[in-house]
Amino acid sequence: MSRIVLGVSAGIAAYKAAALVRIFGESGHEVEVVPTPASLNFVGVATWEALSGRPVHTEVFANAAQVNHVRIGREADLVLVAPATADLMARAAAGSADDLLTNVLLTARCPVVFAPAMHTEMWLHPATQHNVATLRSRGAVVLDPGVGRLTGPDSGPGRLPEPEDLAATAMSLVENPELGTVLAARDLTGRHVLVSAGGTREALDPVRFLGNSSSGRMGVAVARAAVGRGASVTVVGANLSVAAPAGVDVVSVSSAAELAVAMQQAAPVADIIVMAAAVADFTPENPQHTKIKKDGDRGLHVELTQTPDVLADLVASARPGQVVVGFAAETAHDPAELIALGTAKRARKGCQVLVANNVSAGAVFGAATNEGFILSQGAPPQQFSGSKLAVAHAILDAAMASQERKD
């Protein structure tokens, strides 16, 4: 069982942090909430104690026999501050220790994540940006805030990302603490990542379609990982069953033809293209404009035609230095066959990197985890297994390594 410390500072978005306690607890983690005194104006001690099942303190001298101002940070596997106000980040950057939470931040030797939430003017102020840069330079992960409705009628950057997004990032760091260094370094800053996600639907008539089981979780995870590493990200989403993370541009499509057009339009400015969507290989040749009716005991015969080969077309039109990552969902008997099938597809399509999954018996689709092999040109097969967000980081690492080999 991992121990997550949830720091809560005094912003109205503190109410969202209550959902984080529940998500972490239901995932098997032990949660200790450390609110600042001022944050209790928004969410009180009783709420935090009821949700976490643990006593809650805000002052250094509370329960002094436990030496909480040192113990909590030392014992933590992760510290997440959500929301992190401009004031809290300023005090953290200055090394202040004027309440229990700032003491915890000084004693923690685990990954530390700040999820900023404040008004746009406060987020963009040079002092706040300087403090963010200072915290990142020390190895802390400072996430970019979402863009949207803030307190009152105004909107803009400064919104706390949704609890599910924050929890996914936090738990990936618990799974692999070394990701903290990657996220703090923001090694994709200045790069554009284009991701396709979800599963296409090919219309038979206005109410029926041919589709597949892809949920879009893997593509969304790649987008979330890329945003966390500083990239600008575009997601071409086909019938996603999960929401795209904050901070990405989303182009919604349905069919393979629509996805092909959207990807070609967005591709010229991308440095890395990740084709995670499950794209139909065939589409009805003559979709009906009215609902198909039963005709006695007769069955339905549908003529199918091949869809565009989106991956191969992206490779063919790729500009110098651009890396294209493909996916292969295969039904293999063993890892050797999976590698062989994936290697053949990578060579056939011409992409630099290919992610091979074994989807026998419905594995991978819709699941929170993924396993398989990353097959890169000029590198040995890399086996992976873990959360889709952790796998997403491995995919981006492979894409960047491939780009360096090309350069």
Tokens of 64: 């002094």
212 catalytic residue (yes or no): yes
The one-character DSSP state at 254 is: -
Q: Determine which helix (DSSP H) or strand (DSSP E) holds 226, and give its type and residue range.
A: helix 217-228
CA end-to-end distance (rounded Å), the chain:
43
Pairing between β-strand 382-387 and β-strand 369-376 as defined by DSSP bridges? antiparallel
Tokens of 402: 């491939």
Pairing between β-strand 78-84 and β-strand 3-8 as defined by DSSP bridges? parallel
DSSP letter string over 380-396? --EEEEEEHHHHHHHHH
Task: For residues 400 and 351, give the distance between their C-alpha atoms in angstroms, rounded to a whole number.
Answer: 14
Which among 212, 357, 358, 370 is annotated as catalytic?
A: 212
Looking up tokens 């923001």 gives: 186
Closest listed residue to residue 53, CA positions, set 79, 24, 75, 12: 24
Q: Are 141 and 224 in contact (CB under 8 A)?
A: no
Task: For residues 158 and 151, give the distance between their C-alpha atoms in angstroms, rounded to a whole number.
Answer: 10
CA 328 to chain centroid, in Å, comes to 21
Residue 69 in 3-state DSSP?
A: helix
Q: Which amino acid is at 285?
A: E
The one-character DSSP state at 298 is: B
Q: Determine which helix (DSSP H) or strand (DSSP E) holds 123, and give its type and residue range.
A: helix 120-124
Just list the catalytic residues.
Answer: 212
